[in-house]
Copies of this chain bind each other. A is one copy, B any other.
Amino acid sequence: MRKSQQIYAGRILTLNIEEHELPNGRRVSCEIVRHPGAVGVVPLLEDGRIVLIRQYRAAMNGMVIEIPAGKLEEGEVPEECVAREIQEEIGYRVKSMRKLGLMHNAVGFSDACLHMFAAEITDPGEQSLEHDEYIEIMRLSLAEALDMVDKGEITDAKTQLALLFYARRQIEPTKE
């Protein structure tokens, strides 16, 4: 990046107009949404089912089916964020977790990334939602969740990807 003009700095994102130099030396001006990064978690119950959430998303003007997820707070490592979001959004405690992968949401206009995990969870309790969150909890089998991906009932990229990554590891344990 050669130059950057900040258009807006808000609660969850920053919008810049940035000047970049391509590998061929040409200079281009780009609209870039800078974002602190996030985590998304496939939460695994002791009976083998998965917890998904139905959440009101303003960007979608309605409810969206998702894995629990959240933005990294300043100085927070992804694993801390996983434990915090599982407690806040679905009211469980994380017993153990493993990484599924990393995704970049929309490289055409943003550096937003999301660390994907699977986590064994226990001790169901109360959610502690933020004032701008509205979340319902669903419990279903991996097969049911994958069926919703195949039927286009789940269209959230992090949820599709984390479920497919998790299923892929179940089928191909030698890849662990």
Contact = CB atoms under 8 A, between A and B. Distances in A.
Interface in A128-167: 131-132, 134, 149-150, 152, 155-158, 160-161, 164-165
Contacts of A12: 31, 108-109
Contact of A134 (B11, B23, B165): B23
How many copies make up the complex?
Answer: 2
A61 B34 CA distance: 12
A11 B28 CA distance: 13
Contacts of A24: 134
Interface of A: 1, 7-8, 10-13, 15, 17-18, 20, 22-24, 26, 28-33, 35, 38, 56-61, 63-64, 66, 69, 71, 101-114, 131-132, 134, 149-150, 152, 155-158, 160-161, 164-165, 168, 175
